[in-house]
Structure formats: structure tokens, C-alpha cells
Amino acid sequence: MLSSLMAGASEDAATRRETRPLSVVEAAALAQVPALDALAFLQPEDSVKIIAEVKRASPSRGALADIPDPAALAALYEKGGASAVSVLTEGRKFGGSLEDLEAVREAVSLPVLRKDFISDPYQVFEARASGADLVLLIVAALEQPLLQELYDLIGQLGMAALVETHDATEVSRALDLGANLVGVNARNLSTFELDRDLFGRLADQIPAGVVRVAESAVHSADDVAHYRRDGADVVLVGEALVTGDPLASLAHFLAV
């Protein structure tokens, strides 16, 4: 599944590049206002922090929510106390777009994460040109030299990388990059099965000073509390917010 998602995202980026070449996107990225300091928003505090996601669909669940106005949803997330907003920009399986990202960027004063299947510097320049402050990098999808190249480019453009891992080896690879924002995704991106306890098994391998982000398998405040007890500084939540009342859900999550 991960290989298919990466290939599709790469093909779609290549199609966009035909009409908007790298030189144009790079110029737009460099002309953007400076990115927000996402790490400042996500630093550990006494209570858990939430990255709230704009997510229309997923390969495992299919359609989740129409979200005709992603900007309005993101504004609700900010009102409800989220510390950042994640925007799925992958179109084939998640129903997202860079236009969603741009709309959200205009609507909130929080850091905005481009969540996609990134494998090419072109996509990183696209992210900054569209106003992203954070970019997701999936360790499992990238060989270390390319992972390092993309990580370094994200930093050079003033953004932060959320480096996503799924096992101890990937955590080690993330730390080798110098990553200061490391996610552990409970969803196996090959089988799409969930393991809520994975974060707890890996958290001790993420040293102090690195922000720990728990991703996936959040359905209720109990799940957020479970991650918090296991050492999560930040929890990324998508499905539970878009399929329910965002403000009520955020209130419950932030109260754990």
C-alpha cells in the first residue's frame, strides 16, 4: 500500500511539474512570507498538544467527510485549541489537494503541515509555495540519502519536518537526520493494521529535547490519554475530528 501511495503521489507531482516547472515553484516558495516556527508551537507543556487534521478519506476507511470548506474546519480547530493543522494534499486516496492547504493557510495563524507522500524536492518546494510550515517525511518510504536531502531542504526553506517512524530502526534513522520532531504512526502502512501500543514501545528511544508525536488510532479521549501516559507530547488526530463535532472532540482530547 505504501509503495502504491508513493508512486501515485510521484506521478501526480510529475504531472503538475509539466504545467508548473520547478523553477516557477521554487521562485514561489522563496517569495513566500517566512514559515511559522512550528516547533515553538509544539514544544512539550503540562498538557498534551493536538495536531488536528483536515482529512476527507483514507485507503482503509474510504470516504470520511465531505469537508466542502477546509478553511472553515481549520478555523474551528484553531478556536478549539489545536496547536497545528495537518492537511492531506494527496488526491487519489485521501481526496486532498494543495488548494486545500492554501485555503487553510489563509484561515489560521497556526502552523500548517503538508501531509503527503513526499519523495522529490519538487514537492517540498510546492509545500512552501503553498504556505506550509511543516512537511511530513515517511522514513519507511525513503532511502537514507534521499531522506536526508529532503530533510535538509525542508530546513533550508525555513520549515520543520515531521519525521514519521514505525519501528526502532526507523526511529534511529530519524534521529540520525537530526530530527527534532519525530512521529510514531500506529498504522502499518503496508497492511494498514493499527497497533495503539507501538508508540509506548518506541517512546523511550526518542531522547529528551525531541518532540514526540503519536499518530493514528485515536477514536476517543481515552486514546489520547493512553498516548499521553506513554510519553506523547503531541497527538495527531484526523478521523475522530472530521467524523464528529470538532470543538467538542478537541475539548475532550485537551482535557486528558
Q: For the residues of 30-93, what is the DSSP string, one character each?
A: HHSPPPP-HHHHH---SS-EEEEEE-SEETTTEE----S-HHHHHHHHHHTT-SEEEEE---TT
Catalytic hit among 102, 126, 170, 215: 215
Which pTM value belongs to this model? 0.97
* 185 catalytically annotated: yes
CA atoms within 13 A on the CB side of 134: 29
* 53 catalytically annotated: yes
Domains and CATH numbers, the chain: 1-254 (3.20.20.70)
The alpha carbon of 120 is separated from its chain's Cα centroid by a whole number of angstroms, namely 17
Catalytic hit among 58, 83, 86, 216: 216
* 26 catalytically annotated: no
**What's phi and psi for 144, nearest 5 deg?**
-60, -40
Give how far Cα 151 sits from Cα of 12, 27, 70, Å: 21, 19, 27
Catalytic hit among 164, 170, 239, 249: 164
pLDDT, position 59: 87
Catalytic hit among 49, 55, 83, 102: 55
* 126 catalytically annotated: no
Give how far Cα 67 sits from Cα of 55, 70, 94, 192, Å: 8, 6, 12, 23
pLDDT, position 192: 77
pLDDT, position 30: 98
* 55 catalytically annotated: yes
Q: Answer yes or no: are the C-beta atoms of 128 and 78 closer than 8 Å.
A: no
Catalytic hit among 58, 86, 102, 115: 115
Catalytic hit among 58, 119, 185, 249: 185
Low-confidence residues of the chain, pLDDT below 50?
none
pLDDT, position 206: 98
DSSP 34: P
